Structure 1
Amino acid sequence: MLEKGLVKVVEIIDINHTGQGVAKINNFVVFVSGTISGDKVKIKITDIKKNYATGEILSIIKPSEFRTASPCTYFQQCGGCQLMHMDYKEQLKYKRNRVISELRRARVNFHEETVNKTIGMEDPYRYRNKTTFSVTEKNNEIQIGPYEQGTYNTVDISSCLIQSKAADEAVTSFKNLMKKYNIRAYDMKTKKGIVRNIVIRNNRKGELMLIIVTTSESFQNKELLVNELSFIPNITTIVQNINNKNTNLSMGIKNITLYGEGTITDTIDDLSFTISPETFFQINPIQTEKLYQTAIEYAHLDKDDICFDLYCGIGTISLMAAKKAKKVFGIEIVNRSIINARENAKKNNISNLEFYAGKAEELLPQLNKQNIKADVIILDPPRKGCEKEVIDTIISMSPKRLVYVSCNPSTLARDIKLLESGGYMLKKVQPLDQFPWTVHVETVCLMSRK
């Protein structure tokens, strides 16, 4: 029987969805952070739950053949990347296996060869076009960085290997200017201070949008801070976001443009997109092109097809689909995204689209009742997956093809099983590594009527 403090030597046989190694002691599952499949480690049991226990590494007795030295100084502390100690090619295999495992768990009817090998990156560094860092103080020193693994403590970093070097420089400059102008970081415990977070968005040209998240609109030396920030190379716009709520959410609702246009423009394929501070845009531009090209290929649209793009964001997939389809209807809950989507359609001279702001589970049934039907539906929902009303309406509408883009294999498998029960068959599955060095995997699935 397991007890807290028990020391054991175990073999790591798998990795779970959070990146923890999986071992078994007397057939009881034990999760161990910092390990990968093939490691032989000495651990100490730290906690015991009903169905599993957790342990911490005391020593690595025999490392896995796939274990590598992490190139990141902050890997042991930072919660951003979970797999920087794992061979990259092995990460791609792990992500394909995650998708297969979730499909099996949901009892989806498919053959393993239906799931293609994960599409990876040639150079899996410096790929992020958006990073969010917390801003805190420790011993009267400003700290800026990601959260420590499993906590809300800030890891003070000088560089992040998955964001651009220009973003690194902007973070360092911002920290120095906070010190120079005595601008205080917000303290969640005392509820005092001004700056809570900074968000950096960049495009392929290397232009940066700096978003400063503060508790109030006015603060000491604001104009001086913004003036100096505006001279930093690559920063083309600065936005202040107001977040005065007692929440762990990074940003609030109100944005104030302090410098520049308040937006940046980026490209996918030959299309140009306006991006606002709060709108969703895939964070890995190189992989995003592969992702969306796969989605459009699977959709197999022709000039007579009506296509619905559900959870359409700023219209990225919608515009690509509109180049091939007769008409595209996009639905998105974030109103600012729909405004950007309409701007993007106009900017790219594409007119065969209609965008609707609202909940997909409300608007899709309304379109169906108006007898506006889709030949092809593309879905790219948030991590929680599709609402029941969306699945039910899709089944009722009965389009010939469905293309499901997902960032969560668990909810993807759940929804595919529901669609399978409604008369659809899983035909193709393409995992893609949108987030190297993390456990996350993006997946594109093609379903057609049985």
Structure 2
Amino acid sequence: MFPRPPKKFVPTPFEYHQEIEITIDSLTNLGSGVGRIDGWVVFVPFSLPGEVVKARVFRNDKNCSHADLVEILQPSPDRIEPGCPLFGECGGCQYQHLGYDKQLAWKTRQVGELMKHMAGITFPVNDCLSSEQVWNYRSKITPHFDKPKDGDLGPIGFLAFGRRSQLIDVPQCPIAMETINRELPAIREDLRKRGRSFKRGATVLLRATEGRVETDARATAIEHVGELKFQFLAGDFFQNNPFILPAFTGYVAKHACAGGAKYLVDAYCGSGLFSLTLAKHFEQVAGVEVSETSCEWARKNAAANHITNATFLTASAEAIFDVISFPPAETAVVIDPPRKGCTPEFIDQLVKFGPARLVYVSCDPATQVRDLKLLEAGGYKLEDVQPFDLFPHTRHLECVMTLVKA
């Protein structure tokens, strides 16, 4: 006898909370295990390829079902003990139960599968690269709390797995830098003491900078990448894994320079990470960033690091092509857009400008592959695909695709 289902539950092919035995074949790019029963796809979070599991169905969609993991009947040899006691409850990590070498292998495979299924492109993907620091790597976390009740803040942490609003209390986070974990207890205690002063819920900023933690979004944070020093507002975007940035920016530099390009355009340049780490390889660099504060910091960072061949424009990315006079045949363009990818206007202007090389950096390979189709249609040929694991133990990755004008 199954419990009463929700009103909108579709009772086929499985009843609500029906328990099924299923073999897991693969992983989705969201980190869930994928299995099939008589060809019908079932998604089971926290299961691994090769495992036989018992799962409890909670939703049937038009062409698949979703189930919670109940029991692992035959574990994968790749399954390991998670590094966090909250794994499986906290929604922040998806892969702590999977050996790290296998995490890298699956991320590599998922990039290739996205290209094949979304764009019809079959292309070799280089093995996903990482740094040696696979724990305590995040330089920024943003825990939340809900509106206090009678001065009590309740949980201070992150969304619970599979929930849209329920928070889980996170007193320590093993993927956050040790500096953050050291100061987190005192910050949490201070918030709780001031519970009655909060009229609504809030998000708390913790940014590691120069051996301390900054909680003021308008304060200045500092990060070092190789020999360069970057300053930016603590609440603004900056890559949150400093341990891999020298290799990451070095790879982008190598591929932007290949072919002898003399000029660089850095679209969506932020506070100048790629513009300034790559500047020594080019005669002139032009960056463009829609955020006025980030663009101003890019200018300040250039001056502070004595870089004189880089200029920055505060505007939408596509506007850069109206103001530069670089010869396209000698120009490389680095693209590092937000998660939603490039705008159609930017891609249109980019293709019309026609630079010799493109190095597209993305935190969402799905939108990157979407844009890849447009770039190939615009006359560019894929030359290299390199994933980077800036976010160990999570489903997230950065992917660098290099294209050349055909």
Q: 2:123 matched to 1:111?
A: yes
Call closer, same or farther: CA 1:449–1:109 in 2, change over 3 Å.
farther
Shift of 1:207: 2.6
- What secondary structure, in the 3-state scheme, does the structure 1 residue paired with 2:277 have? helix
Deviates more, 1:37-46 or 1:167-176: 167-176
Q: Retained in 2: the 8 A contact 1:132–1:199?
A: yes
Whole-angstrom distance in 2 between the partners of 1:346 and 1:123: 31
Whole-angstrom distance in 1 between the partners of 2:68 and 2:154: 31
Deviates more, 1:102-111 or 1:287-296: 102-111
Q: 2:323 matched to 1:381?
A: no
Whole-angstrom distance in 1 between the partners of 2:339 and 2:123: 25
Call closer, same or farther: CA 1:18–1:138 in 2, change over 3 Å.
farther
Match of 1:290 in 2: 247
Match of 1:93 in 2: 105
Shift of 1:120: 2.1
- What secondary structure, in the 3-state scheme, does the structure 1 residue paired with 2:84 have? coil
Q: Retained in 1: the 8 A contact 2:263–2:332?
A: yes
Q: Give the CA RMSD over aligned residues.
A: 2.1
Equivalent positions of 1:399-418 (< 5 A) are: 399-418=355-374
Match of 2:130 in 1: 120
Q: 1:446 aligns with which of 389, 395, 402?
A: 402
Whole-angstrom distance in 2 between the partners of 1:422 and 1:395: 6
**Matched AA of 2:167:** T
Q: 2:2 matched to 1:2?
A: no
Whole-angstrom distance in 1 between the partners of 2:233 and 2:35: 45
Equivalent residues, number: 390
Q: Retained in 1: the 8 A contact 2:321–2:353?
A: no
Call closer, same or farther: CA 1:379–1:207 in 2, change over 3 Å.
same
Match of 2:5 in 1: none
**Matched AA of 2:381:** M
Shift of 1:78: 0.4
Q: List per-residue Cα deviations over 1:12-35 (Å, max 9, x = no partner).
A: 111112111111122111111121
Q: 2:350 matched to 1:394?
A: yes
Q: List per-residue Cα deviations over 1:175-200 (Å, max 9, x = no partner).
A: 222344x43375xxxxx34x612111
- Normalization by structure 2: what TM-score? 0.91
**Matched AA of 1:208:** V
Q: Retained in 2: the 8 A contact 1:32–1:54?
A: yes
Runs (4 or more) in structure 1 with deviation over 6 Å come to 301-304
Shift of 1:123: 3.3
Q: List per-residue Cα deviations over 1:323-364 (Å, max 9, x = no partner).
A: 111111101111110011010001001111111112113x13
Shift of 1:110: 4.4
- What secondary structure, in the 3-state scheme, does the structure 2 residue paired with 1:331 have? strand
Match of 2:178 in 1: 165
Whole-angstrom distance in 2 between the partners of 1:428 and 1:80: 30
Gapped runs of 5+ residues in structure 1?
187-191, 211-238, 242-254, 256-261
Percent same amino acid among aligned pairs? 31
Match of 1:35 in 2: 47
- Normalization by structure 1: what TM-score? 0.82
Shift of 1:428: 0.9
Call closer, same or farther: CA 1:324–1:10 in 2, change over 3 Å.
same
Q: 1:44 aligns with which of 45, 48, 56?
A: 56
Shift of 1:171: 2.0
**Matched AA of 1:199:** L
**Matched AA of 2:252:** A
Equivalent positions of 1:360-371 (< 5 A) are: 360-361=317-318, 363-367=319-323
- What secondary structure, in the 3-state scheme, does the structure 2 residue paired with 1:146 have? strand
**Matched AA of 2:145:** V
Q: Retained in 1: the 8 A contact 2:261–2:332?
A: no
**Matched AA of 2:42:** V
**Matched AA of 1:315:** G
**Matched AA of 1:178:** L
Match of 1:305 in 2: 262
Shift of 1:287: 1.4
Call closer, same or farther: CA 1:382–1:179 in 2, change over 3 Å.
closer
Shift of 1:413: 1.2
Match of 2:208 in 1: 202
Whole-angstrom distance in 2 between the partners of 1:101 and 1:304: 31
Equivalent positions of 1:238-253 (< 5 A) are: 239=216
